[in-house]
A and B are shown apart, each in its own frame.
Chain A
Amino acid sequence: DARVTQTPRHKVTEMGQEVTMRCQPILGHNTVFWYRQTMMQGLELLAYFRNRAPLDDSGMPKDRFSAEMPDATLATLKIQPSEPRDSAVYFCASATDGNYGYTFGSGTRLTVV
């Protein structure tokens, strides 16, 4: 089965450090989403791309978060500097045109101490 691959699966880092999370969308999917999941907030949309162009990153704290798609096979989410409140599971999802039928990755569990 085609799948969305996220790395790393787990990341523990100290406050102030840079964190980069990677996502390989399903081949042929042109829409990529980044979500953050916490117990308190549930799933929150951080950013999404279509055909590698950022369409919406209004859910992302701009001062420390950045999302990019350097090519069609790689999406990155970077936090610099990281803070303890960033601790969460970060999911990447990909889809074909539009928002029909996302496939989620297994997530990156980030702990900032």
Chain B
Amino acid sequence: KNQVEQSPQSLIILEGKNCTLQCNYTVSPFSNLRWYKQDTGRGPVSLTIMTFSENTKSNGRYTATLDADTKQSSLHITASQLSDSASYICVVSGDAGKSTFGDGTTLTVKP
């Protein structure tokens, strides 16, 4: 069964600190992995998309890594800001349009 597991479930950090969110998956075959940021009351917004051949991709202060061999991905947030407080969702797509969503990590950045 295709699964995506994210950790931690929730995280609280101080403004300005860095943090790393984890995503482990069992989806096969693999097409791509996406990280989304979802603010409260909003739809998910894409941060990064990575295919099999990509092992790192950055979007501003967000850097995603992918190890397709171990089926792990991480999202690193540098110099966190209050506006980074949100849920971060890892989505892994296989073939034929099937995507498996993780349950998300809820990040709270405190001043």
Q: How far is the CB of B42 from chain A (nearest CB, A)?
A: 6
Secondary structure type dominating chain A contacts: strand
Which residues does chain A contribute within 8 Å of B31, judged by CB atoms? Answer: 98-100
Q: Which residues from chain B sit less than 8 Å from chain A, CB to CB?
A: 31-32, 34, 36, 41-46, 49, 89, 93, 96-99, 101-104
Which residues does chain B contribute within 8 Å of A76, judged by CB atoms?
none
Complex Cα distance, B103 from A100, in Å, reads: 20
Interface size class of A (residues with CB under 8 A): 20 to 34
Say yes or no: B97 contacts A50, CB within 8 Å: yes
Binding site for B on A (CB under 8 A): 4, 31, 42-45, 48, 50, 55-56, 91, 93, 98-107, 109
Complex: A26 Cα to B99 Cα, angstroms: 20
A106 and B42 form a contact (CB under 8 A) = yes
With a cutoff of 8 Å between Cβ atoms, the chain B residues found around residue A48 in the complex are 97
B17 CB to closest chain A CB, in angstroms? Answer: 27
* B34 and A102 form a contact (CB under 8 A): yes
> Quick check: A45 and B99 within 8 Å, CB to CB?
yes
A48 to B93, CA, bound (A): 14
Choose one: B41, B45, B49; the contact of A104 (CB below 8 Å): B45
CB distance from B39 to the nearest CB of A (A): 10
B99 touches A104 (CB 8 A): no
Checking A42, A99, A106 against B97 with a beta-carbon cut-off of 8 angstroms, the contacting residue is A99
Going nearest first, the 3 A-B pairs with the smallest beta carbon separation are: A104-B43, A43-B101, A99-B93
Contacts of B45 in A (CB 8 A): 104
Min distance, Cβ A5 to any Cβ of chain B, angstroms: 11
